[in-house]
Each structure stands twice: as C-alpha cells, then as structure tokens.
Amino acid sequence: MELKTAIVTGASSGIGLAISKMLSSEGYKVYGIGRIFPEDADFFEKRISLDIRDTDILLKKISEIKKVDLLVNAAGSAYYGLAEFNTADQIKEMCRTDLEAPMILTSALIPKLKDTKGMVINIASVTSTRINTHGAAYGALKAGLRSYGRSLYEEVRKTGIRVVTVCPDLTLGTKLYRNADFTPSEDEGCYLLPEDTSECVRSVINMREGAAVTEVEVRPQFNRIEKKKKD
C-alpha cells in the first residue's frame, strides 16, 4: 500500500514540527518546509530549508512532489504591540507568511489534492475569532486565513477535498512570542503544548470518510500570560 504524502510548512519548530512528527507516526511521508531543522528530526521524508516568502523557490520545490494527500499550513509570524508601532517591514512579513504563502501553496496544490481527495489544514489562531488589542495586524491576518478556509471548503467539497481550520491558543515551545513582551504563563492549565494541537490534527485526519470537521479551537483551561523579564 502506497504511503500518504504530507507537506507541512513551519515544520522546523513548534506546532509544525509536532504535527510533522505525528504524521510520520501515522505512516505519512512528510515533506517539511522550514528554515533551520533540528538535527534529530529524522522522521521527515525530506527537509526543505527555505524562506516561505521566496515564492518562486517554494513553488519549484513543491512541484517536484508528485502526489500530495495533505497540506498543513503551519508557518507563522507575529509582532505584538500597539498598531501604531508596527513597522512596514513587520506588517509585510506577517502578511506574506501568515496569509499570502498559505493561499499560494493551497492554490498550487489543489489539482493534486483533487486526485487524492486530500485535505488542507490551516493552523490559524484564536485571535482569528476575536478583537485583538496589541495584536491587531496578526489577528486580522489569521482571520483572513480562517475566512479563506471556510470559503475554500465550500468551493472544493464536491471534489472530496476537506478543509480544516485549527485555532490554537497560547502555546509554549513555539517561536511565535519571540517578538512579544509576554509569554504564556507556565502555571499548570494556562498553556498549550505543540503536541496538543498535533493530537487535535491526528483526530481530524482519522475521521471517517464522508464526515468533516471544518473548524476547531484548542485552548488551555485558564487564560493567563506573564510579562517577560527584562535583561
């Protein structure tokens, strides 16, 4: 039996890495797209090191993958703070990473996903569903990704493709807060781990054919952040 093939962006760390590892355990050949991969990540079929904003290189690399059963758009970039202090470069980086790249990749891979009656999983954020002071641009882009997924599902469902938006909350062990002055609280029950989202994805991909979850939130029981300590 031929193994299923998955492409995962943001696969070199955090949620993308956890999803890649889980998919490998489920018998997928995983092509991971990221920047700097951990040396012990030997579960990938292939590690593709690139900047996801390099569209021409990205499209060339994925064109070499002949069969695709699953696309996971997990790459993300975030800058927090008041909107007036978001620089043009920060906004462009978030736009291209959080929304432009997933749409470009998905559009390019739909023909292959039609052939396999495959699946697209977009890792959005709980910020896509609410007002986000100190994160207006990031929340807007994740809301755009959520909207894209909902509309795309209606377009392609007749072909057998499933489209799922997963919206995680505060997650430890990711690089998403490297540009923030806060981090999820490490108190028990106040954070998610990347593996929590990957286990959610495991449940989604193993659902009975003909049943589709289109959207799910993954949240810690409590809502608490901590200010980063200044050096």
Asked about 138 being catalytic, the answer comes back as: yes
CA distance 164 to 215: 5
Pairing of strands 162-168, 215-218: parallel
Q: Which of 118, 129, 142 is nearest to 209 (CA)?
A: 118
Given 28, 138, 148, 153, the catalytic residue? 138
Active site residues: 138
